Amino acid sequence: MDIIETIKEQIAVNPVLLYMKGSPNAPQCGFSARAAQIIMSCGEKFAYVDILQNPEIRANLPKYANWPTFPQLWVGGELVGGSDILIELYEKGELQELLKSAAAKADA
């Protein structure tokens, strides 16, 4: 399976997926730390991929997503954005609703 197919499959099978540097409990950059903290504070389960452990994903995801930076949050197969966008959505209460909706669809 080529790397783009792997990325597509990861996005398809995980209703909420964070591509980040490190892990939620041991982030390796401030932006990834903020993104993981915000998502965890919403209380929904999410998957993550440590791009530092997956250099092929790190190299190819920005081209696939047309988004140059990490972290990247994907919900329901759609790119939501990086940490600045997550902060903005969280402060408006929109991120909580988006994650709750994705979790409900996944459970259905």
Tell me: the pLDDT tens digits for 91-105? 999 999 999 999 888
Residue 105 is predicted with a pLDDT of 87
Single pTM value for the model = 0.96
Domain span at residue 15 reads 3-100
Q: Within 10 A of 87 (CB to CB), how many other CB atoms are there?
A: 15
What's at 14, amino acid-wise?
Answer: N
In a domain, 28, yes or no: yes
> Quick one: DSSP state of residue 15?
S
**Residue 35: strand, helix, or coil:** helix
- Is the CB of residue 86 less than 8 Å from the CB of residue 38? yes
Pairing status of strand 16-20 against strand 47-50:
parallel
Residue 70 among known ligand-binding residues: yes
Instruction: Report the DSSP pairing between strands 78-81 and 26-27.
Output: unpaired
Annotated binding residue 21: yes
Average pLDDT, the chain: 96
Total number of domains constituting the chain = 1
**In a domain? residue 105:** no
- What is residue 107's predicted lDDT score, i.e. its pLDDT? 81
CATH number of the domain enclosing 28? 3.40.30.10
31, part of any domain = yes
Q: Let me know if residue 108 belongs to a domain.
A: no
Residue-wise pLDDT for 32-69, tens only, equals 999 999 999 999 999 999 999 999 999 999 999 999 99
**Residue 106 forms part of a structural domain:** no
pLDDT at 41: 96
29 assigned binding-site residue: yes
